[in-house]
Structure 1
Amino acid sequence: MTLSLEDRLAITELIALHGHLVDDGALDRLAEVFTADVVYDLSDFGQGTLTGPDAIREAALAHGAANPVAHHVTNVVVERPDGGEVRVRSKGIGVRADGSCGSVTYEDTVVRVGGSWRIAHRSVLARRVPLGGAGQG
Structure 2
Amino acid sequence: MPIDAQDRAAVTELVHLHGHLFDGGELDRLDALFTEDVVYDVSDLGGGELVGVAAVRDAALALGDRNPVAHHVTNVLLSELPDGSVRALSKGLGVYADGTCGSVTYDDRIIRGAHGWRISRRAVLARRVPLGGAASSGAVSGDGVSSDGASAD
TM-score normalised by length of structure 2: 0.87
Q: Which has the larger radius of gyration?
A: 2
SS in 2 for 1:135: helix
When the two structures are aligned, how many residues end up with a matched partner? 137
Tell me the equivalent position of 2:105.
Answer: 105
Q: Give me the whole-angstrom Cα distance separating, in 1, the residues matched to 2:82 and 2:97.
A: 39
How far has the Cα of 1:80 moved from its partner? 2.4
SS in 2 for 1:25: coil
Deviations 1:10-69 (A, max 9, x none): 000000001100000000000000001000001111210101111101000000000000
Q: Give me the whole-angstrom Cα distance separating, in 1, the residues matched to 2:59 and 2:96.
A: 17
TM-score normalised by length of structure 1: 0.97
Consecutive unaligned residues of structure 1, counting only runs of 5 or more, are none
Asked if residue 127 in structure 1 is aligned to residue 138 in structure 2, the reply is no
Contact kept, 8 Å, 2:92 with 2:104, in 1: the verdict is yes
Tell me how large the CA RMSD over aligned residues is.
0.9
Tell me the equivalent position of 1:68.
Answer: 68
Tell me the equivalent position of 2:147.
Answer: none
How far has the Cα of 1:4 moved from its partner? 0.7
Tell me the equivalent position of 2:23.
Answer: 23
Consecutive unaligned residues of structure 2, counting only runs of 5 or more, are 138-153
How far has the Cα of 1:95 moved from its partner? 0.1
The share of aligned pairs that are identical, in percent, is: 60
Tell me the equivalent position of 1:83.
Answer: 83
